[in-house]
């Protein structure tokens, strides 16, 4: 059994759904198709959620965008005239609208998950109906009933044991050899909807593969595979045909956007290969991430991560930066759920780079302020070059003001001013 994951860009319009059908139509083996919300519908639903929760008064307009978008696609794919899918989509849209008429609870995260899930419920309903109409019936599964999580809304933790049991009951392949289900969303034991974090449907595909012992996972994307640089920035960017799980984890940890960071581990644990291929050129091979024995000669890989905050802390009492000081700083970072992307210590100062979260960073600095003099720089990027060469470094850092520099055997990293 294989798993195919189609992201929002692959089903952003009626053409995308037809293209999805063409890709799966050649398949003969058992298959689970994991689909995200269409196009930018998760963002559109976020707008609905914000308007609703903060009673901003624009809920109806925001909702209208979600409705018009899906109705347009249904019309293009199925025409008009009271077909079954039209009714299913209208029912979902009505349920969503009804929810926004209720008084919101006090928890934003809870409300977010129960509204945002409609993106995936709608996309999978439309995709399943289209496949059926084209003569390739796939069974629609509500993943919220089988991917079971805790109630940590918007970033739920998966209960692997329970999910394995429920998934094996749902995906039996007894009466069908193809399923369509939702990425990104999940559910609690008490039937509340949860989500796995933005861009989480890669992770869903990996989890299902792990729990159901799939042979392989393919993520269909709008890029030709895993590339050594952003082709928008470097026109000679090339596809990397294969890499190890370890390399993929390092890359996504450095900020490479191809795959969601949580995706690799469930696959690595079971030795399941992950293919990244282009839905625009489905005949080309793309990239594969798998266990590799041989040492690969990889080209330099360039990663440019923006939206960073560089901080330097110097103890006010002029004491050295020693272990107790560091453990206090780390505790504060953990408390604010800050992700440390790079750090450097000197005798009397500690510099580090974190993702910039406008909403919390002032409070974070406030907390450190009693003990440390805090300097920070908001307009910085974190540049990483894996498998660096002198030329590659020169190319990436040329003309930029470098504030921090760090090199290990395989990785060179720079904090550069914008």
Give 154 or 395: the residue with its C-beta nearer to ligand ASP: 154
Considering only 71, 198, 290, 387, the residue that binds ligand ASP (CB under 6 A) is 198
Give 5 or 413: the residue with its C-beta nearer to ligand ASP: 5
Q: Does 119 bind Mg ion (CB under 5 A)?
A: no
Beta strands in 77-211 (DSSP E): 139-141, 178-182, 185-187, 193-195
Closest approach of ligand ASP to the CB of residue 321, in Å: 38
Residue with nearest beta carbon to Mg ion: 8
Q: CA angle 323-327-332, nearest 5°? A: 150
Q: Does 39 bind ligand ASP (CB under 6 A)?
A: no
Quote the DSSP letter at residue 8: G
Considering only 24, 88, 148, 199, the residue that binds ligand ASP (CB under 6 A) is 199
Closest approach of ligand ASP to the CB of residue 349, in Å: 38
Q: What are phi and psi of 304, to 5 degrees?
A: -120, 110
Task: Return the one option of Mg ion, ligand ASP, none that residue 183 interacts with (CB less than 5 to 8 A, by type).
Answer: ligand ASP
Query: And the tokens for 130?
Result: 């289209």
Which range, of 196-204, 286-294, 350-358, 402-410, touches ligand ASP by CB under 6 A? 196-204
Strand duo 301-315 + 372-386: pairing: antiparallel
Contact positions with ligand ASP (CB under 6 A) in 118-157:
119
Query: And the tokens for 168?
Result: 């094996």
Asked if 32 contacts 1 with a C-beta cutoff of 8 angstroms, the reply is yes
Task: Return the one option of ligand ASP, Mg ion, none that residue 10 interacts with (CB less than 5 to 8 A, by type).
Answer: none
Q: Does 36 bind Mg ion (CB under 5 A)?
A: yes
Considering only 4, 8, 117, 266, the residue that binds ligand ASP (CB under 6 A) is 8
Contact positions with ligand ASP (CB under 6 A) in 258-287:
none
Which range, of 193-201, 216-224, 262-270, 400-408, touches ligand ASP by CB under 6 A? 193-201
Closest approach of Mg ion to the CB of residue 220, in Å: 12
Considering only 39, 200, 261, 286, the residue that binds ligand ASP (CB under 6 A) is 200
Residue spans of alpha helices (H) in 245-343: 245-253, 264-270, 323-335
* Continuous segment of H or E residues that includes residue 86: helix 84-101
* Continuous segment of H or E residues that includes residue 125: helix 118-133
Considering only 33, 37, 96, 396, the residue that binds ligand ASP (CB under 6 A) is 37
Contact positions with Mg ion (CB under 5 A) in 348-377:
none
Q: Does 42 bind ligand ASP (CB under 6 A)?
A: yes
Distance CA 142, CA 336 (A): 34
Q: Does 228 bind ligand ASP (CB under 6 A)?
A: no
Considering only 201, 218, 278, 287, the residue that binds ligand ASP (CB under 6 A) is 201
Distance CA 330, CA 351 (A): 12
Distance CA 223, CA 206 (A): 19
Q: In 3-state terms, the chain is what percent helix, strand and coil (to 5)? A: 40, 25, 35
Which range, of 34-42, 74-82, 173-181, 371-379, touches ligand ASP by CB under 6 A? 34-42
Q: Does 302 bind ligand ASP (CB under 6 A)?
A: no
Query: And the tokens for 180?
Result: 């369509």
Closest approach of ligand ASP to the CB of residue 414, in Å: 29
Asked if 237 contacts 231 with a C-beta cutoff of 8 angstroms, the reply is yes
Burial of 134-161, coded b for 16+ CB within 10 Å and e otherwise, reads: eeeebbbbbbbebbbbeeebbbbebbee
Residue among 33, 49, 294, 5 at smallest CA distance from 178: 33
Residues that bind ligand ASP (CB under 6 A): 7-8, 36-37, 42, 119, 183-184, 198-201
| Residues near Mg ion (CB under 5 A) | 8, 36
């Amino acid at each position: 059994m294989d798993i195919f994951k189609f992201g929002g860009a692959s089903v952003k319009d009626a053409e995308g759904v037809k293209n999805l059908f063409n890709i799966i139509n050649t398949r003969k083996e058992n298959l689970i198709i994991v689909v995200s919300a269409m196009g930018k519908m998760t963002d559109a639903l976020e707008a609905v959620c914000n308007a609703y929760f903060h009673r901003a008064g624009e809920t109806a307009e925001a909702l209208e965008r979600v409705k018009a978008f899906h109705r347009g696609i249904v019309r293009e794919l199925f025409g008009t005239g009271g077909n079954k899918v039209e009714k299913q989509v209208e029912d979902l849209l009505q349920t969503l609208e009804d929810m926004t008429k209720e008084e919101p609870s006090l928890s934003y995260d809870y409300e977010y998950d129960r509204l945002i899930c409609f993106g995936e419920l709608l996309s999978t309903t439309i995709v399943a109906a289209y496949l059926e109409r084209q003569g390739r019936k796939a069974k629609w599964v509500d993943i919220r009933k089988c991917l079971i999580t805790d109630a940590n809304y918007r970033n739920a933790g998966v209960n692997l044991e329970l999910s394995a049991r429920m998934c094996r009951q749902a995906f039996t392949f007894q009466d069908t050899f193809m399923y369509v289900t939702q990425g990104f969303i999940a559910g609690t034991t008490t039937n509340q909807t949860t989500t796995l974090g933005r861009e989480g449907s890669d992770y869903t595909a990996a989890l299902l593969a792990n729990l159901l012992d799939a042979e392989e996972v393919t993520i269909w994307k709008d890029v030709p595979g895993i590339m050594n640089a952003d082709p928008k920035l470097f026109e000679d960017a090339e596809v990397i045909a294969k890499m190890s799980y370890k390399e993929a984890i390092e890359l996504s940890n450095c900020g490479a956007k191809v795959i969601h960071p949580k995706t690799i581990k469930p696959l690595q644990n079971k030795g399941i290969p992950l293919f990244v291929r282009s839905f625009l050129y489905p005949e080309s091979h793309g990239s594969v991430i798998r266990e590799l024995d041989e040492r690969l000669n990889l080209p330099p890989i360039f990663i440019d991560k923006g939206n960073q905050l560089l901080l330097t802390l110097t103890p006010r009492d002029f004491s050295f930066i020693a272990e107790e000081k560091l453990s206090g700083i780390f505790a504060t970072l953990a408390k604010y759920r800050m992700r440390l992307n790079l750090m450097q210590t000197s005798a009397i100062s500690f510099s580090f780079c974190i993702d910039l979260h406008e909403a919390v960073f002032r409070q974070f600095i406030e907390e450190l302020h009693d003990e440390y003099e805090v300097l920070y720089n908001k307009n910085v990027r974190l540049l990483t070059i894996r498998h660096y060469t002198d030329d590659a470094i020169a190319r990436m850092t040329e003309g930029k003001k470098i504030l921090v520099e760090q090199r290990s055997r395989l990785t060179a990293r720079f904090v550069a001013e914008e």
